[in-house]
């Protein structure tokens, strides 16, 4: 079965205000306009007071509905009830026109805020992209159009240059250059051929490929990313929860304050004016919009943040802990030398014994040994027993002989003396022992990940005070890698439990710790850290589950980018709270108490903080990194 996908290759358009004007939105616009017209006619004595009262009731309906829902379901007096009271007090106090104008302007402010929040949410789909929704299925030399939901696992999908991939799968024919920016955030296309994994939502820029389908629809990596980003929007950061709590107790305090002012002044106009500036409406806008914009911006860069809490914590991190293998290094070690330590045993026999024991292991070093043995033309026997010794190596039985393959600590724990070596500190020595006797060792070296040193420097420049590397490798190797990257401290020969203990120790010292690892072997340490960051999660769904933040590509610089976005978001929230809410409202309250402004002027000025908060928040979507 073959499938040919035809679609536009242009990125999804950014949502416009017009595109978000649903039927309910148009009803709201008509309501606001109708109330405004009636208020204008009443001011010109063209309609009676009864008509104005009806118009006010129509205008207040959505506010009353929202306010009562907050009161009875959430047990809180919200902004909606606050504004309703202000409007009714103004109308009942003889300031009917002022009350109407106040309500109209507040309705406009709320409408703009909700519309722009919807726009920020809709921007996520535009930033991430989209996947094809239709396909052409070819069976028995016949083609028919079917929806993507009709595809089955193991279908062969035909993708041509300029088309988006509709499924996750493996290339089984052809080759091409694929832009994986929607998944990894990296705009440089990757050349891929037979056996390479590919993702839905990515673009084949050149060539033609046949893809064997592995995941479709909601199971694809693209769909998982979109779902997690949407869920992240609803996860409140501590500063956001604090703002909600402040708003909850602020309204009762403000009401007491207003009653006291009225008892002293008996001035309804002043009370209405003060109610406008003591409304906590912007307090509720100050953080959610920032978090939505920041999470969307991070997703565009290939950084999946699971919630505002992790974004805020990342901005406050003062200690970053790195795993070595697969993080600071590529995790693809190569065998440099096979050394025999027994005159009666050849280097080929050493390699054969080690590879036979390692063939069932998924560790990168074990894979390198096995691959080197296969390339050397060796036939590897199947072990009759096999056991992974975490942080140490492998215990196996090969051709009825007990074999140990691992580090010096493994040899020592089994009472075997391992000869010292004068090899390079960058090398990892894998000892091979047969029947409790060392017969040789294998020199393996991992390659440094490009830009590692610059990333460490970038983290320090962003305010990180301490950078530590944790590894199961020997001390010499760890210190050599630390020297190359500029890391402060390297802790070596650690088991997974020891890595967790190191994180706990740092947290006990009141550090806010981020752990960067591969998301699988380092899952316990990632879970223990304040912020767990998984590298290269695009190919591993388990990595996404293990981490609080997932870097979809293997680019270390994304850590600095994520930190930059987090710090900018937190600073933006502070700006919104201090300037957009604090300063403007304090000045407004002072002006109202001094009698410099009345209800209508206050209502007009009330739009300022709304617009300021929105513009300050939405800039995160367009920030340059």
CA distances from 286 to 105, 311, 580 (A): 19, 15, 8
Mode of pairing for the β-strands spanning 531-534 and 549-551? parallel
Q: Which of 203, 139, 163 is nearest to 5 (CA)?
A: 163
∠ CA(495), CA(496), CA(498), 5° rounding? 65
Q: How far apart are CA 533 and CA 551, in angstroms?
A: 7
For the record, the structure tokens of 613 come out as 């908060």
Q: Which SS3 state, helix, strand or coil, does residue 160 take?
A: strand
Contact 39, 98 (CB under 8 A): no
CA 558 and chain centroid, separation: 11
Q: How far apart are CA 235 and CA 246, in angstroms?
A: 18
* Angle separating helix axes 557-575 and 238-265, nearest 10 degrees: 10
For the record, the structure tokens of 583 come out as 């300063």
Handedness of CA 445, 450, 451, 455 (dihedral sign): negative
- CB neighbours (10 Å) of residue 234? 11
Q: Which SS3 state, helix, strand or coil, does residue 425 take?
A: coil
Contact 293, 568 (CB under 8 A): no
For the record, the structure tokens of 124 come out as 């996520």
Within 13 Å and on the Cβ side, how many CA atoms surround 5? 31
3 state SS for 339-360: EECCCCCCHHHHHHHHHHHHCC
Q: How far apart are CA 213 and CA 172, in angstroms?
A: 10
| CB crowding 529-563: b at 16 or more within 10 Å, else e | bbbbbbbbbbebeebbbbbbbbbbbbbbbbbbbbb
Examine the residue annotation and report whether 154 is marked as an active-site residue of this protein.
Answer: no
Contact 552, 538 (CB under 8 A): yes
Mode of pairing for the β-strands spanning 466-470 and 489-491? parallel
Tell me which of 155, 323, 518, 548 is the catalytic residue. Answer: 323
The catalytic residues are 323
């Amino acid at each position: 079965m073959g499938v040919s996908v035809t679609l536009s290759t242009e990125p999804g358009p950014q949502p416009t205000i017009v595109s978000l004007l649903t039927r309910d939105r148009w009803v709201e616009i008509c309501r606001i306009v109708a109330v405004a017209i009636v208020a204008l006619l009443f001011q010109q004595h063209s309609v009676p007071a009864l008509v104005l009262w009806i118009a006010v009731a129509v205008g207040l309906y959505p506010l009353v509905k929202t306010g009562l829902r907050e009161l009875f379901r959430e047990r809180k007096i919200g902004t909606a009830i606050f504004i309703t009271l202000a409007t009714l007090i103004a109308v009942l106090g003889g300031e009917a026109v002022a009350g109407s104008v106040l309500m109209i302007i507040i309705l406009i402010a709320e409408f703009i805020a909700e519309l722009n929040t919807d726009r920020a949410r809709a921007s996520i789909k535009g930033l991430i992209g989209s996947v094809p929704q239709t396909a052409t299925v070819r069976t028995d030399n016949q083609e028919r159009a079917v929806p993507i939901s009709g595809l089955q696992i193991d279908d062969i999908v035909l993708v041509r240059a300029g088309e988006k991939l509709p499924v996750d799968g493996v290339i089984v024919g052809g080759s091409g250059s694929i832009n994986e920016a929607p998944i990894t955030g990296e705009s440089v296309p990757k050349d891929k051929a037979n056996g390479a994994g590919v993702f839905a939502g990515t673009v084949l820029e050149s060539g033609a490929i046949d893809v064997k389908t592995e995941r479709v629809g909601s199971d694809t990596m693209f769909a998982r990313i979109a779902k997690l980003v949407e869920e992240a929007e609803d996860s409140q950061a501590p500063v956001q929860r604090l703002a909600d709590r402040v708003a909850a107790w602020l309204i009762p305090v403000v009401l007491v304050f207003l009653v006291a002012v009225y008892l002293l002044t008996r001035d309804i106009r002043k009370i209405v004016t003060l109610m406008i500036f003591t409304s906590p409406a912007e307090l509720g806008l100050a953080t959610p919009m920032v978090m939505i914009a920041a999470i969307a911006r991070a997703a565009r860069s290939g950084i999946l943040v699971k919630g505002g809490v992790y974004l805020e914590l990342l901005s406050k991190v003062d200690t970053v802990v790195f795993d070595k293998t697969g993080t600071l290094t590529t995790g693809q070690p190569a065998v440099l030398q096979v050394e025999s330590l027994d005159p009666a045993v050849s280097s080929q026999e050493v390699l054969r014994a080690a590879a036979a024991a390692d063939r069932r292991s998924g560790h990168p070093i074990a894979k390198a040994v096995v691959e080197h043995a296969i390339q050397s033309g060796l036939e590897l026997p199947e072990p009759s027993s096999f056991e992974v010794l975490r942080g140490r190596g492998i215990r196996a039985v090969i051709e009825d002989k007990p074999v140990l393959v691992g580090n010096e600590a493994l040899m020592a724990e089994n009472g075997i003396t391992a000869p010292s070596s004068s090899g390079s500190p960058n090398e990892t020595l894998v000892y091979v022992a047969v029947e409790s006797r060392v017969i040789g060792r294998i020199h393996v070296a991992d390659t440094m990940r490009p830009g590692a040193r610059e990333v460490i420097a970038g983290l320090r420049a962003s305010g990180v005070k301490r950078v530590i590397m944790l590894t199961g490798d020997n001390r010499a190797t760890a210190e050599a890698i630390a020297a190359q990257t500029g890391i402060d401290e390297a802790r070596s020969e650690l088991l997974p439990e020891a890595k967790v203990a190191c994180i706990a120790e740092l947290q006990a010292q009141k550090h806010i710790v981020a752990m960067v690892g591969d998301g699988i072997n380092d899952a316990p340490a990632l879970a223990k850290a304040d912020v767990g960051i998984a590298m290269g999660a695009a190919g591993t769904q388990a990595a996404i589950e293990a981490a609080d933040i997932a870097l979809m590509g293997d680019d270390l610089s994304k850590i600095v980018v994520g930190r930059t976005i987090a710090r900018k978001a937190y600073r933006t929230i502070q700006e919104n709270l201090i300037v957009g809410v604090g300063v403007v409202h304090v000045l407004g309250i002072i002006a109202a108490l001094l009698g410099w402004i009345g209800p209508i002027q206050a209502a007009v000025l009330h739009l300022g903080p709304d617009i300021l908060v929105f513009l300050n928040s939405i800039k995160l979507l367009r920030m340059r990194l």
